[in-house]
Amino acid sequence: MDTHDLRLLANRIRRRDLQAVYEAGAGHIGGEMSVTDLLTALYFHTMKVDPAAPLDPNRDRLILSKGHTALALYVVLSEKGFLPKEEIATFLQHNSRLNGHPNRVKVPGVETNTGPLGHGLPVGVGMAKAAKLDGADWRTFVITGDGEMQEGSNWEAIMAAAHFGLDNLTLIIDHNRLQQGARLEDTNNLAPLPPKLAAFGWTVLEIDGHDMDQITAALSADNIASGKPTCIVAHTNKGHGISFMSDNVAWHHKVPNEAQYKQAMQELENAQ
């Protein structure tokens, strides 16, 4: 899929996500809008995954450590064929397997349960180390939020990944500058992130996380430096694509009313 088609697909995924949040009356729509382009590029351009064999031992792995944006992952998985598209309508309903955080026991394509922040990257380090021990060539990708990088467990994992030379591991930081209730800079400002990761021995790339050309280029295996894990710092906007949500901390966990829903849907449709 070329970058033009990826952009169109990401827009469709945003619209389905918006509809599902509105109908369910809950969701983390701001962060879902910021991570959609990254997830779209991973599943439809970069990763080796097969919906017909979700547990193929040679598959690439993706851990969405910012698990509160599970809905964006569910919509991507449905577009890829891991889930029936009509199942998205059950999001957060009674007995639905599409919960507010992803569950690997219930949802095919989910590699590990996430929700408590700071857990995804340590699990990803374990996966990447396992691949090295097996002599396997599959890759592990982990997406974290920038606020999530305040968790000390991430920095322990960063040290371990560099120590073990996990060049099959790629960390993608969804750097939208906002976290629950406040801006990153007003909470515990980690920016700038690239020199910190580089100081720990990682290869670091810095991109516009909404530019498909930059995203796909950064995810390429051509950027892997032997013996060094890779970090992609993706500059994004919370609520991307919707004017009144974009870069607005209030939309971390909020549901649009009818007028806002119609406006947001129209803006996304016009952006195609």
134-162 tens-digit pLDDT: 999 999 999 999 999 999 999 999 999 99
| pTM of the predicted model over 0.75 | yes
- pLDDT, residue 181, reads 86
Parallel, antiparallel or unpaired: strands 230-235 and 203-208: parallel
pLDDT tens-digit readout, 231-258: 999 999 999 999 999 999 999 999 999 9
Terminal Cα distance for the chain, rounded: 16
Give the whole-angstrom CA distance, residue 231 versus residue 228: 10
Q: What is the pLDDT of residues 94-128, one digit of tens each?
A: 999 999 999 999 999 999 999 899 999 999 999 99
Residue span of the structural domain in which 60 resides: 3-270
**Domain at 250, CATH number:** 3.40.50.970
Structurally, the chain folds into a number of domains equal to 1
What does the pLDDT average to over 257-271? 97
User: What are the tokens at 227?
Assistant: 């013996």
Q: How far apart are the C-alpha atoms of 268 and 5, rounded to whole Å?
A: 15
pLDDT category at 180 given cuts 50, 70, 90 is: confident
Residue 203 falls in which region: left (phi positive, over 0), alpha (psi -120 to 50) or beta: beta
What is d(CA 13, CA 267) in angstroms, rounded to the nearest whole number?
14
